[in-house]
A and B are shown apart, each in its own frame.
Chain A
C-alpha cells in the first residue's frame, strides 16, 4: 500500500505585508511502496540513515477451489496447445492385422479375380484397376505383378516349372494320376484347388510379425503407434516413423508421404482438468508482497502433477468428430533378398531347419525377417506348420506324398516317386517358397534378376480397420497413462511464473495454516537455491529454530514450516542474500486466512 503525503511547502510564518508573494501551494506527493501503513517520511538531512520503517504486509489464504481448466478444442487449437509435444502423445496402438488384410485384399484384386477360379490361367489384367495401372509398364513384367502371382497361387494355377516339384507335375499330368497335379497339390496341402497356397491370413500375420515387429517404431507385437502428430498430419508423419530405420528398410516406401484423415472437420477434443497449482501469497523480506505458485497434488497416483486429467471419464474427456472409417493412402514396400534361396532338402538335418533354429547361413530362416522370401516362407510355415497328411496315387505305386508321417515333423514332406525321380524330402514351406521365388523371377530369372523384385504398392483408401468411434475410445487408456506427462507438457513451467519470495502462507495438507519457508522444489527448474539458513527462528542469531520440516499429521517433509498461532508472534529469518529480518506476525486466530506481517530489517 502506498502512502501519499501532502505537504504544503509554503511558509507558515506570521502574516506580514512586506513578505514576498509565496508561490501557489505545492503538493508534494511522496510514494512509499511495500504495503506500508507507515506515516513517517524518511529524513534526508545527512547523518546516519534512519532505520528503514517496518513493512506491513498482509498475507491471505484463498480457500476458493481452483477453477477447473475446461477446454473444448478444435483441430487447430489442439495443434497449438499440444503440437510441440505431439510426437510424444500416443493416441492409440493400432493392431495392423486388419490394415494388412485390407492391403492384401486390395493387392490381390489389382489384376483381376479370375485366379479364384479353377483354371490354370487366371487371365490377369492389371489394367482393370487403378492399383494395377500404377505398376511399372508393362505390368506383366512388374515386380508388383510378380508378387500378385505369388499371393494368388492356388493349386489350380500354380506354375512350378523350374522348381524342385516340377517333375511331380510332369508325372501327374502325363500319367493323369490323382486328377492331375492341381489335385495332388490340393491334396498335399489339404486345401481346395482354388484356395491360395499361402493363405492371406498367414501372409498378413507374417507381414505383421516379420515386417512390422522388426521395425523399431512398432510396439507390442507389431502394433502401429499412432501419435497426435500422426493424426494432426493426416498420417503424413508415418513416412518418418515407418520409414527405413536402423537397418530395417521400412514399411512405407521412402520418399512417399502417406495420407489419411483422422480428424474430421468437426473434430473436437473436450477436456476438463483440475489444477493442482495454487497461487499463494508470500513475501520477500527485502521487498514486499508477491505470489508463488505451489503444487498441491493430493489426488494421485502421482503427487507431482500440475493438472489432474481423467481421460477415462466421458464427462471429463471426449473426442468427437473423428473420421468415421479412417483410411490411408500409402505406398507399401517389401524388399526381396538379393539371391535365390534354395530349399533345404534331401537331408535329414533339414528337419531341424526352423524359424527358431536356422540351419546354417544358407537357410531361409537366416534371412532378415523383413525380406520377401522370409515373409513368404513364414506365411507358409504358419499355414502348414502342423500339416500331417498322406496321399497315395495309383496304390502308392507311382506316387505317395506323405507329410509329417512316420515320426517326421509336421510339414516334412516325402515325395514317394519311383526311382527317387521326384523332389527331395523337405518342408512344405521350403518348396512353396521355392515356387514363389521362381514365380517372382520367372523360370531361369527370365523376368527379373535376383534382388530386383522389390515390390511397392501405391494403395489408396485402405481401411485402417478401426472406426473413428473405436479410435476415440481406444485413445482413453493411452491418454490416461500419459496424463502426468501431458500435465507437465502444458503447465510444467508454472514455477517460472512465481514471484521471488522467502516465505509464503498456505494450508498444509491437514488444513493447518502455516508459514512455509521456500524450498528448492518451489523454484523453477535450474534456479539455484540461495537460502543458507532456511526456517523460522526464535532469535536474531538464528540459533533456536521454531520451524520444522517434519510435523505430525503433515505429509510434507521438505519445507520448513511454522503453524501460525493466534495473537502476536515474532520470528526471525534470513533471506537468500544473507540479510536477516524480524517478522512480527499477527493473526486474529490460529489458522486465520489472513495474517499481518510486519517485516523489520535487522
Chain B
C-alpha cells in the first residue's frame, strides 16, 4: 500500500488530477447461491504515466518473494575467469597460503613443467632414470613428447581452468539449469545455463551471494548419486554498496483492472501489468534501467573450492578400444572427480598439438634407444632398445599424465582417497565489473519479457482479491476494430505470488472463458489482440448481451450486460445457474 500511494502521488504530479481510487476489497457478501442474482458495477481505471522512474532499494528487492528473486535471472556468470583467478592464486601462492598438503600438491601440478619432471612411482620412472644415464635429460624427453618447451606448464593454466569449469561446475545441476519464469513456452520454468557459467539472479545480488555454498554444495542427482559440490565455503562478497538502488523508467497505466470474484460477486482488482507488458519499459532508452551502488569490481573475500578424488588410484588403460579413450576407468569416473578432470585437461593438451609426433634418441651410430610416438588418436607407444629401462606399456598420452598426476597428488604421505583438493582463495575478483554487470542485467531483462513482467510487477503491486474476470476498456487511441468494452478472463500470469514464491491461488479453471450457452459449449471468447494483449481469453460486450462463464470450481454463472452507467463503467447482472 505504501508503494502504491507513492506511485499515485507521483502519477498525479505527472498527469494532473484523477478520480480517487480505492483498492479496498468489497465487504464480504457470502457465496452466491444457485439461482441467486447480484448486480455489480465495474469501472475501467486508467492512469497513464510516461517515463516514470521507480527506484527500488535493496530492502525493496529483498521484500520480493524469494522465488521471484531467484527466478529473476540476471546473467550467466562466466566462471572461467574466476576459476583462472583461482588457479592463478593456487599456482603462485606461498605454501603457507595454501594451508594443506592437498592444495600444495595441486599447486605442484599447476606448476609442473618438464623441468620439474618427477615420474617416480609411475610407469615411466625406470625408463626416465635410464634416460639420464645415456645423457638424454628426462626433461627434454618429456617436453619433446608433449611438444612443449621444457619451461612450459604440462597442463597450461587456461586448460586447467577450462576443464575445471566444464567438469566441476558444468556437472553440477546448478551449473546446468536454473529456475525462471513459468510461461506457456516453458511451463516447468527450467532454463538451461550456458556451459561453464553459473546463473546469477537478483537473489544472489541482494544476498551478496550468501547462498553460494548451498547453491553449489552437495546435491542429489537423478541417477541416485550425489554431486559433492565444489564450493565448501564462500564469504565476504563485496558486490553491493550501501547506496544500492535499481531505478527503472516505466510507461504504463498504473491502475489495476476491476474484476469480479464470481464466488461471492465481490469486486476485485487485477494488476494491469500483464496486458501492457510490451510497452511498460522502453528498452531502447539507454536509461530505462539504472543501477547504482554496485562496487566497481565485485570481489570475494574467501572462497573454498574443493575437488574430490577417487577412492582408488586409476591406472592407465591398456587397450586402444573402445575409442576414443580406451579402457581406462578414468572415463567412468564422475566428471567432477580429480582424476577425470586431469584426464580431460590432458586430453585437451594432447590434441592441441600436431599429431602424430614421434621422439627418438639414438646412441652409437644411430641405434634408436628410445622411441616414443603419439599417434593421431593420442595412443602413445614407447620403445627402448632391448627394452632397457622397462618402458611402460602403450597407453593414451593423457593416461600417462593422469598417472603422474595421481602420484604427485599423494606426495607428502597422503593416502589414496584422502587427497581431496580444497584450496582457499582470498580477495578474488569475481571477474565482472559493475558496468558489465549492469549491462548484462539490462540486456537480459530486455530480452526476457517475463523478467520484465516480474520487474514491472515489483513496481506496481495492485492485485487485490481473486477476480475470475475483469473489465477492460480499449485505449481510446486504439484501432476501431477493438474499441469498446471487453471482459478478460483471468490468465495464469494474473495470479500474484506470495512471499514464499508460491502463487496466491491455484489456476484451476475447468472452463476458462465466456460462452453463449449454459453448458459452456459455445465459446464467445478469443485471444484477439487488444492493445497488445493476446494472452487473455476475451470477449467484447454490449449492453443487453448475455454470456455464461464458470469459476475455478466449476460453478456456472450467467452474466447479463446492463446499460452502461458511464463511459468507463459497465454494469452486470450475475446469476449463478448451477
Contact = CB atoms under 8 A, between A and B. Distances in A.
Co-assembled chains A and B: yes
B461 interface: no
Contacts of B140: 291, 497, 499
Contacts of B433: 8, 10-12, 25
A352 interface: no
Contact of A18 (B129, B151, B286): B286
B126 interface: yes
B132 A67 contact: yes
Q: How large is the interface on A (under 10, 10 to 19, 20 to 34, 35 or more residues)?
A: 35 or more
B292 A15 contact: yes
A525 interface: no
A285 to B, nearest CB: 15
A72 B386 contact: yes
A278 B136 CA distance: 10
A279 interface: yes
Contact of B361 (A22, A64, A497): A497
B266 interface: no
A386 interface: no
B235 to A, nearest CB: 22
A2 to B, nearest CB: 6
A34 B365 CA distance: 34
A85 B433 CA distance: 70
A1 B153 CA distance: 8
The residue in A6, A288, A489 that gathers the most chain B C-beta atoms within 10 A of its C-beta is A6
B388 A71 contact: yes
Contact of B126 (A10, A67, A290): A67
Given A15-B438, A17-B287, A291-B140, A2 B365 contact: no
B15 interface: no
B484 interface: no
B149 A84 contact: no
A27 B149 contact: no
A293 B292 CA distance: 64
Contacts of A489: 364-365
B133 A67 contact: yes
B152 interface: yes
B458 interface: no
Interface in A280-328: 288-291, 293, 306
Given A6-B81, A17-B289, A66-B132, A77 B385 contact: yes
B84 interface: yes
A162 B136 CA distance: 77
A501 B422 CA distance: 40
A69 interface: yes
Interface in A58-87: 62, 64, 66-73, 77, 80-85
Nearest to B293: A15
A78 to B, nearest CB: 9
B435 A279 contact: no
B134 A288 contact: no
B151 A289 contact: yes
Interface of A: 1-4, 6, 8, 10-19, 21-22, 24-25, 27, 29, 33-35, 62, 64, 66-73, 77, 80-85, 275, 277-279, 288-291, 293, 306, 489-491, 493-495, 497-499
Which 8 pairs across A and B sit closest by C-beta, in order of nearness? A84-B365, A494-B135, A275-B133, A293-B135, A291-B137, A17-B290, A67-B129, A21-B439
Interface of B: 78, 80-81, 84-85, 88, 91-92, 111, 113, 115, 126, 129-130, 132-140, 149-153, 157-158, 286-292, 294, 296-297, 361, 363-367, 385-386, 388-389, 429, 431-436, 438-439, 442-443
19 contacts: A2-B152, A4-B158, A6-B84, A8-B431, A8-B433, A10-B435, A17-B286, A17-B290, A21-B443, A33-B151, A33-B152, A66-B129, A69-B388, A71-B385, A77-B386, A81-B364, A275-B132, A289-B150, A491-B363
